[in-house]
Chain A
């Protein structure tokens, strides 16, 4: 399970969603707030990753997400800053693809998830990367996540493929397992570290 840190340094930029009215206040260097959107094919485990991160739960029964669910979670970093993630867990179904801009518009972070046992979902992940490069915020922090890492024996997408693709596209890469909780917190901590900090005024 590799962690490729290949993010270009970003020192400025908007962190938050366009449509968050609460967020109009002055940026606070110690208390960050960021809109995060999860994208990826249906069934790759986006909701499971979020629920593991936010509630520490894992429910193996598949619950198809409708539209998008909103959850938030705050984490504290070692340098005593806190980051509040406002997470949009989007539905992977095809019918919602056209509506994705609704959810990724203004997002500071995009987490693109695929299933390491499904090459189709890896292809779909690449589609989302391209879409965000075209239409997302120019300074968006992107992470590529290979989920279901516990299913090693069924693996069809090699770690290196994910790593290579992430590197080429300036993304952070990690493999996770929502089921075993492996690397879930690391994913969000690494994202938090990579967030651009508002320059002290």
Chain B
């Protein structure tokens, strides 16, 4: 954005804010440049409002069509979650109201009456969906409630079920309960699917009161989700796709041949010991935005540090390694692909989930067959996996089944370089320091002294026992900014701000992710979208979403946040992300850009 308020540049990279606080008038003028009529209601059944969206997108053209990527301007028509024109029962954004009220009542005893035909959430028995989430760090991997089956009241009350079954109705996986005891239930699901299929049709979802049943048919494998979490259909379907992908990662799609030979084939033994992989994936649906953004995220690192890691990985990739991926938990340090090989973010998600949830990888170096469903669902690759420390691990993927000793040598070379260039210690420091914090959002445009600003520049040292951030607790960032996610479309990467008060509890964080997820689904709705902007206000947040050709921004504010200020703040967030992009994103070396 050029400082000249009368014109706007179409290149976001040059955007420099001119001290808006010292000259509020200038700011106001700038924000008048673009006027978008806000999409008021995205429900397809509200035809009138749907038209307004279209008009809104067109209106912008009369000002400056090229400028929409630079500045966000949304006006009027706020939605109040409970009072807006939308009917409260409309599926779109009724949202987490139910669960928010439940959590305010200490989250105990939400279900007062048990209806045998319904699945409810049980909050007081340590279930995943319930109060146990208040201690996210204490989340224990693995399957729970194996003693349950479809006759158990507790099982019926679970808020979100996932099932995998075969086309003959044999259970393959169930999130809760023992698969073998769920044979009857599986057969019922299979009957529903084949009943519709026999009519030459396909069942996608069924609504039953509070519950939504979503079906996904993948050849001989059926996947079903039964949920009363009010997540949109598209989100649940995406989750089923990921569960299917996780299964393919373990077994490859050639599993279909077993069903061709024997339709009654029992697949459960083949998935022996993988409960923990699926339960960890399902858990990540409520904390990892990569599961709905279809993008990956990087651990913040100085540009030179990431470059050093990338260089040695590239070296190794040139020696016949298909993909070399260095990660810290679910965040990428660096990754390199052999020429013309591209790695889908979903494959990375599934691979890192598989590695992180399988304890044995931490014991020693491993060499295991894995399949990348988006890369080639039919074939196994071989993964050399080594943990440098408790969170940092290297994955070297190859097509050659006898490359272990070569990959081991590669790892030794990589480790030497990483230690010499302090990459591993920088990664640990970054883990402690964290990433972008809304409190650190530059209030004033950063003074430019020729060098670009750094991520931790204004941050007090982490060591300080009573840092200046302490008094900020409960306030969030400027203009009531609580949190944001910025997704770079070109890079297939996203950056998410750290959670800080008031979003301190895992329940609040999960609720926000669910809200983002709905926002994502509504922005990408094929029927009425895609949309460019959305501004929503309910009793939990103000949510602002802005989608351009280059990026998507999701931001959450205090529910009482001022709208104009919120919009201004979003522009500042985008500028901030651009200022530190060399530290938060993996640049250039990404195989996706080829």
Contacts and interface: CB of A to CB of B under 8 A. Distances in A.
Among A18, A64, A89, the most chain B Cβ lie within 10 Å of the Cβ of A64
Interface string B390-404: 000000000001101
A67 B250 contact: no
Contacts of A137: none
B368 A68 contact: yes
B468 interface: no
A64 B404 contact: no
A66 B269 contact: no
A47 interface: yes
Interface string A120-153: 0000000000000000000000000000000000
Interface in A58-78: 63-71
A42 B408 CA distance: 26
A99 B269 CA distance: 16
B292 interface: no
A190 B370 CA distance: 36
Given A67-B367, A93-B272, A21 B359 contact: no
A160 interface: no
Contacts of A71: 364
A70 B408 contact: yes
A194 B112 CA distance: 69
A95 B364 contact: no
A95 B363 CA distance: 21
A51 interface: yes
B273 A64 contact: yes
A158 B245 CA distance: 44
A42 B272 contact: yes
Contacts of A91: 273, 360, 368
A70 B365 contact: yes
Contacts of B454: none
Contacts of A1: none
Given A64-B358, A64-B360, A94-B272, A69 B365 contact: yes
Given A19-B405, A93-B273, A95-B271, A66 B364 contact: no
Nearest to B272: A93
A22 B409 CA distance: 10
Interface string A156-183: 0000000000000000000000000000
A20 interface: yes
A69 B272 contact: no
B272 A95 contact: yes
A65 B402 contact: no
Nearest to B362: A63
B366 interface: yes
B565 interface: no
A3 interface: no
A99 B274 CA distance: 17
A60 B410 CA distance: 33
Interface in B261-292: 269-274, 276
B251 interface: yes
B141 to A, nearest CB: 11
Interface residues of A, number: 26
B31 interface: no
A68 B384 CA distance: 10
Nearest to A67: B368
Contacts of A18: 402
Interface string B220-232: 0000000000000
A67 B365 contact: no
Interface string B362-382: 011111111000000000000
A71 B365 CA distance: 7
B363 A47 contact: yes
Contacts of B259: none
B98 to A, nearest CB: 37
A18 B401 CA distance: 12
A102 B273 CA distance: 21
B364 A69 contact: yes
B361 interface: yes
Contact of A63 (B270, B271, B363, B408): B363
Interface in B333-368: 354, 358-361, 363-368
Given A68-B366, A68-B368, A102 B401 contact: yes
A70 B359 contact: no
B405 A20 contact: yes
Contact of A69 (B271, B354, B360): B360
B278 to A, nearest CB: 13
Nearest to B273: A64
B406 A21 contact: yes
Interface in A62-117: 63-71, 89, 91, 93-96, 99, 102, 105
Contacts of A102: 401-402
Contact of B368 (A20, A66, A94): A66
A96 B270 CA distance: 9
A41 B232 CA distance: 43
Contacts of B364: 69-71, 89
Contact of A70 (B369, B401, B404): B404
B405 A63 contact: no
A70 B363 contact: no
A42 B270 CA distance: 12
Nearest to B406: A21
Contacts of B276: 64
Contacts of B359: 63-64
B251 A95 contact: yes
Contacts of B383: 67
A63 B404 CA distance: 22
Nearest to A65: B360
Nearest to B355: A66
Nearest to B361: A66
Contacts of A89: 364
Interface in B107-136: none
B367 A68 contact: yes
Give 6 nearest A-B pairs by CB, closest first: A67-B368, A64-B273, A63-B359, A19-B402, A65-B360, A95-B270
15 contacts: A19-B402, A19-B404, A21-B405, A63-B360, A64-B276, A64-B358, A66-B360, A66-B368, A69-B365, A69-B366, A70-B364, A70-B408, A71-B364, A99-B369, A105-B402
Interface of A: 18-22, 42, 47, 51, 63-71, 89, 91, 93-96, 99, 102, 105
Interface of B: 250-251, 269-274, 276, 354, 358-361, 363-370, 383, 401-402, 404-406, 408-409
Given A42-B272, A70-B367, 17 more contacts: A21-B405, A21-B409, A22-B405, A42-B273, A64-B272, A64-B273, A64-B274, A64-B359, A65-B360, A66-B361, A67-B370, A68-B366, A68-B367, A71-B364, A93-B273, A94-B272, A95-B272
